[in-house]
Amino acid sequence: MTGGSEPAGRAARRRVRKRDRRGATVEARRPGRSPSRRPVEAVLPRPTVAERLVVVDRLLDGSVPAAGAVWSRATAWILRIALEQSVDELWARTEPDLARCPMRAQLLALRVIADPPVAARTAALWTALSHAAHHHDTELAPGVSELRRWREDTARIAGELAATRR
């Protein structure tokens, strides 16, 4: 190295830095290089309620060994998502604007659209699943029999909500 010049390879690898409007340093792309292109992520279709219930059955049967110690809470989460999806599908058919409301508000409005006993069971099940899905230091995780009962309730309510017409 003579005259303090850098080897050609190092100079080529050096990043060009500039300042943005706020004065922060920003890396600019080197001249002659095309911008980096990220692969376009494919949008996967939303699983159906029935597909979610199949996953719950696999978790309850123990055929998903990778679930480890969190399988019971994962099962409660999937059941809650399936129940919420059933309510979302009802709103898509009857009152699309309600889908933007928080779930508690949707459960209150459900009494107007669905039969009151169905709405009450839906709200009670959603509350139980929400409680079971979150970890509480002083409480045990839900047991298999409780999760199986919630799975059957979710399937029954999903069918009743699918049959609801305004």
For residue 7, how many other CB atoms are within 10 A of its CB? Answer: 9
CA-CA distance, 124 to 136, in Å (whole number)? Answer: 19
Residue 141's pLDDT is 85
| Res 18: pLDDT | 54
Calpha distance 121→154 (Å, rounded): 10
pLDDT at 152: 98
pTM: 0.72
The angle that helices 71-94 and 49-61 make with each other, rounded to 10 degrees, is 170
SS3 69: helix
Q: What letter does residue 66 receive in the DSSP assignment? A: G
pLDDT along the chain (166 residues), means of 10: 54 52 54 60 88 94 80 94 97 94 96 95 97 87 94 98 89
> Running DSSP on this structure, what letter comes out for residue 58?
H
C-beta atoms surrounding 66 within 10 Å: 5
Q: What is the total residue count of the chain? A: 166
| Rg over CA atoms, the chain | 26
Which two three-digit tokens encode residue 74?
Answer: 């994962």
What's the pLDDT at 34? 55
Cα(118)–Cα(125) distance, integer angstroms: 10
